[in-house]
Amino acid sequence: MTLTNPTHDAAREQDLILQVQRGQSELFYELVRPYERRVYAAALAILRNEQDAEDTAQEAMLKAFANIRQFRAEARFSTWLIQITVNQALMRRRRERTVPMEGLDNRRDVSDNENEYAPRDFADWREIPSEALERKEVRQRLAEALATLDRKYREVFVLRDMEHLNIQETAEALGITVASVKTRLLRARLMLRDLLAAGWEQGWFSRLPFEKGNKPW
């Protein structure tokens, strides 16, 4: 089994960035290849349409390539790339929006005054063991549960818990406040917890070992 060295990987990535910035454009795909899935997932979380997400992911890659010389390593390259993707997805959604005024409160983010989410009482709830994610059924249930969340909760959850942007980066990517990110993330986690709780009731994980602290994302 080959173990990766995070320090080595970071140094290699920085070297690739510098080479692309200096004109070796043929190395750009090697630079972004580790993030293709994450870029697509971020676009899909916002657009909820596979074709639109694919198109937006391509647009984001092209925009990143066109602006690579402007990257100054003030943030992680992956964060910069995801933020470009989010911006492209939001622009596409604004262009193609069919329901007038949908979501304006989210974009302005004056406050998060929606009703508090009341989680169901499920005393035996546990986080999903990582081994369970290898099972197609579990991954499918997670995707279905995530798709039922309101857009503002889904976006924050995907960027923070799946794409691993920090709170500040998530707020900047979505154009909302840090406080709103924290509030929406908590509610998203509670809603997903309740939606997935049936998995334990139906015995999905009864034969799988439990690893404390693992998350299903």
Cα angle 144, 149, 153; round to 5: 130
Q: What is the CATH number of the domain that holds 40?
A: 1.10.1740.10
- One DSSP character per residue, 52-95 reads HHHHHHHHHHHHHHHTGGG--SSS-HHHHHHHHHHHHHHHHHHH
Residue 37 lies in a domain: yes
Domains in the chain, number: 2
pLDDT at site 88? 93
108 in a structural domain: no
Identify whether 114 is part of a domain. no
With respect to residue 211, please indicate whether it lies within any of the assigned structural domains: no
User: Whole-angstrom Cα distance, residue 9 to residue 189?
Assistant: 31
**What does the pLDDT read at residue 194?**
84
Q: pTM, whole model, 2 decimals?
A: 0.64
| Residue 124, domain CATH | 1.10.10.10
31 in a structural domain: yes
User: Amino acid identity, residue 161?
Assistant: D
CA distance 157 to 192: 10
pLDDT in tens, 146-155: 888 898 999 8
d(CA 205, CA 129): 8
CB 130 within 8 A of CB 186: no
pLDDT for 202 equals 52
For residue 44, what are its two tokens? Answer: 């899909």
Place of tokens 């320090």: 7
Mean pLDDT calculated for residue range 192-201: 71
Higher-pLDDT residue of 72, 26: 26
For residue 160, the one-letter residue type is R
Q: What residue numbers bound the domain in which 25 lies?
A: 6-98
Spatial CA neighbour of 81 closest among 34, 145, 125: 34
